[in-house]
Amino acid sequence: MKSPGYGIEEVGKRRVGVHPGLWLVALLIFAVLIFASESVAGEGVAIIVHKDSKVDTLSVEDLRRYYSDILVTWPDGEKVKIFDLPMDDSTRQVFSAKVLGKAPQDVTMDWASKRITNTAKNPPTILKSQLLMLSKVGQSPNTLGYISEERVDKQKVKVVLVIK
């Protein structure tokens, strides 16, 4: 039998298939999901330190070196405690891609390998949320972390770099 369109086929006297209105609903849902994911990716990532830190700025290269276990101390010689977010956090995904040039899963594998071979000098502590990251960096001198730019509380932390 000839199909009336919209993915509907006539079977006997019944029409079977997808209602034309459902295509529109699916398209709208898809558009909303695409827009939401782009807005997350478009947010800036704020690199934060304790508000009383002597560090005022960091380059992307220095940040990469801290998170790659190459640098482990601040310029004044104090050991840096670095924090990271869970792999599925959207801010972590942007941070890993733009700073480390890798997916979070690859970064995690690198750290696992360093731990297994006992070559990790300063592995990051994984914190469960950006709110906890803000709290820990705000309470602890010589810490380094990152959160979504919109979550920054300048009374608790100092922003040393924003990655767009």
Q: CA triplet 129, 132, 138: central angle to 5 degrees?
A: 140
The list of the chain residues with pLDDT below 70 reads 1-42
DSSP single-letter state for residue 120: -
At residue 28, the pLDDT reads 45
pLDDT tens-digit profile of 60-107? 999 999 999 999 999 999 999 999 999 999 999 999 999 999 999 999
Name the β-bridge partners of 9. 16
At residue 43, the pLDDT reads 78
158 SS3 class:
strand
Q: Taking phi first (over 0 means left), then psi (-120 to 50 degrees means alpha), and beta for anything else, what does residue 44 get?
A: beta
Query: Strand 143-148 and strand 45-50: pairing?
Result: antiparallel
Does the pTM of the predicted model rise above 0.85?
Answer: no
